[in-house]
């Protein structure tokens, strides 16, 4: 939810910044204010982007919760549905199946 809100807020800030920078000043003395507004918009977008990126990280991927709860374990990958046999030369041959990744659930 916060990610969608931050994306919308950044889009609005970008739109306001572009609109403010495209308006031609009526007087020669107002050029400094427009430049300051554009600079403030760029700095604001940078701060909002850094905040939004920091919130995207999954900090609780391997976070242990209190007892009695279930949590996802580390990601494991391997073959599923594979058939293996030993041929006449003594080699183990495996066929079929597919390579998949999953996250086992651990419950206390």
Taking the C-alpha atoms of residue 96 and residue 79, their distance in angstroms, rounded to an integer, is: 9
pLDDT tens for the 108 residues of the chain, in order: 677 777 777 778 777 777 766 666 555 555 567 777 788 888 888 877 777 766 545 555 555 555 567 888 899 999 999 999 999 999 999 998 899 999 988 887
SS3 for 79?
strand
DSSP label at residue 74: -
Taking the C-alpha atoms of residue 60 and residue 48, their distance in angstroms, rounded to an integer, is: 23
């Amino acid at each position: 939810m916060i990610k969608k809100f931050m994306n919308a807020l950044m889009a609005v800030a970008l739109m306001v910044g572009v609109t403010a920078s495209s308006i031609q000043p009526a007087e020669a003395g107002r050029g400094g204010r427009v430049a300051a507004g554009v600079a403030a918009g760029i700095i604001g977008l940078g701060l909002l982007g850094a905040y939004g990126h920091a919130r995207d990280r999954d900090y609780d991927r391997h976070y242990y919760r209190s007892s009695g709860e279930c949590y996802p374990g580390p990601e494991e990958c391997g073959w599923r549905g594979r058939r293996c046999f030993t041929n006449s030369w003594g080699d183990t041959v495996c066929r079929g199946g597919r390579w998949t990744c999953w996250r086992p659930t651990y419950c206390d």
